[in-house]
Structure 1
Amino acid sequence: MITDMEILGAWVRGWTVSRATPPPVAEPDGYRVDVGLPGHRVRYLLRSPSAVAARARTAASPGTWLKTCGARGEVVAGLTSEWEVGETEYLMTFEGALPPVSVPSPYAVTVSGDGPVWDVAVSCAGAPAARGRVAVASGVAVFDQIETQPQHRRRGLGRVVMHHLSAAAAAESSALLASEAGRGLYGALGWRVESEVVPAHVPEGAS
């Protein structure tokens, strides 16, 4: 089981494995990931809104991202004008294995990878319909990049992807970061919200 103090760290360690970035660096207020991509140079994961004001002042460089656990109003209050705030996300956990589901016709499932990263792809007549990835770090399965193509939604493919990812990872504890739409799907599967997460970034070209 993931303890409360370990949830953010468990998620970020798995996220860095999934995205093939350098490992996270522990900071007094959370974690830093040196992503190194255009528009996404560095990412800070903060444990609470109390750390936001200091980071907003000292880390407000273009391509910097903050993701902060806590209530949206408290996080936004600590940000300066350079930061653009995104939609609230949800840090969620699950214990055990997800239940099996049947694959609806005419879809087919492909699982690839041999650890610590696995990919699941659902196709229809050879065309992509849904996908997802799971990465295992420190014994925790972190689900990432879960997506269903618009024309294939509301057919249970999200559940199919999640089950096959869970089976591939075979971990006792799991974590993910969900959008508002994803929270409903994962909640119906038994996932629990541990914290709201408020994303913000300084876009390239900001001064």
Structure 2
Amino acid sequence: MAKIESELIRRWLNGWTVARSLPEAEPVGSGGDGLRSECGQPGREVEVFALRADEDPESLARLAAAVAAARQTTWLTVPTLRPGAVEAVVSAAGLELLRRSEWFMTTDLTEHPQLAPAAPYEREVRTEGPVTVVSLHALAGEVAARGAIAVVGADAVADRIETNPAHRRRGLGRAMMSALAEAAVAQGARTGLLIASEEGQRLYSSLGWHHAADVLIARGPAVPLSR
């Protein structure tokens, strides 16, 4: 059966929690069903990541049931090569499926294209421990684009890649990813991992990132409508 390897998901999650200064994720469910992260964001207090959804649909059903019974808003994130089957399981548990396309993507960072930002934009790179934050500044000092990457061993997880709407279509996303890749390789990373929004998928694909799986996100418990 085609599946995304659970170890790859673990590796991404390790870097993601480091990038966001979150506590280490903890196991949830029986038999390595998933990992639980305390996000602490309004409307996203907890996030559960399914590890074995494709190889063991029952493991996903157990996680979905636990999320449905949670006392605080909890997200269930599911990397999968079988999105239709996953959607059926989470819907049966009564979870709200967030209707957006996200991809789990990987790349060899040592072969990443290197592209500098065009004038008048200037690049600022700050590294603190395993996390590097890159900012691209416009002539007046305004932050036109920003992103981060966290290095854990030979992996680097890119996170929160954003371009100010007023500065889009100027190659800043490509320059941003180039700078992040360069910084990660300098720290010993080789493999890049990220979860791409629908807006970012074309950008990352053009830079050599590969689609490894779809990512479905559901939310629970259901909030009753006010009367």
Shared topology, TM-score over 0.5? Answer: yes
Q: Which moved more, 1:78-87 or 1:64-73?
A: 78-87
Correspondences of 1:1-207 after superposition (within 5 Å): 4-27=5-28, 28-47=32-51, 48=53, 50=57, 51-60=59-68, 61=70, 62-70=72-80, 71-79=82-90, 80-97=93-110, 98-124=112-138, 125-170=140-185, 171-202=189-220, 205-206=223-224
**Structure 1: how far apart are the matches of 2:137 and 2:146?**
9
SS in 1 for 2:136: strand
Paired AA for residue 89 in structure 1: E
Deviation at 1:20, TM superposition (A): 0.8
Deviations 1:65-114 (A, max 9, x none): 11102233212211233424241211111113322112211111101123
TM-score (norm 2): 0.83
Deviation at 1:206, TM superposition (A): 4.8
**Structure 2: how far apart are the matches of 1:77 and 1:204?**
16
Shift in alpha-carbon separation, 1:176–1:116, aligned structure 2, 3 A: same
Name structure 1 gaps, 5 residues minimum: none
**Structure 1: how far apart are the matches of 2:216 and 2:95?**
16
| Consecutive aligned runs of 4 or more in structure 1 exceeding 4 Å deviation | 203-207
Specify which structure has the bigger relative contact order, considering alpha-carbon pairs within 8 angstroms and separated by 6 or more residues.
1
Q: Which moved more, 1:22-31 or 1:169-178?
A: 22-31
Paired AA for residue 57 in structure 1: A
**Structure 2: how far apart are the matches of 1:110 and 1:148?**
15
Name structure 2 gaps, 5 residues minimum: none
**Structure 1: how far apart are the matches of 2:172 and 2:222?**
36
**Structure 1: how far apart are the matches of 2:129 and 2:222?**
35
Q: Which moved more, 1:155-164 or 1:197-206?
A: 197-206
Q: Which moved more, 1:36-45 or 1:16-25?
A: 36-45
Larger Rg: 2
Shift in alpha-carbon separation, 1:206–1:177, aligned structure 2, 3 A: farther
Deviation at 1:205, TM superposition (A): 4.5
**Structure 2: how far apart are the matches of 1:203 and 1:84?**
11
Would you say the 8 A contact 1:10–1:138 is kept in 2? no
Deviation at 1:30, TM superposition (A): 2.5
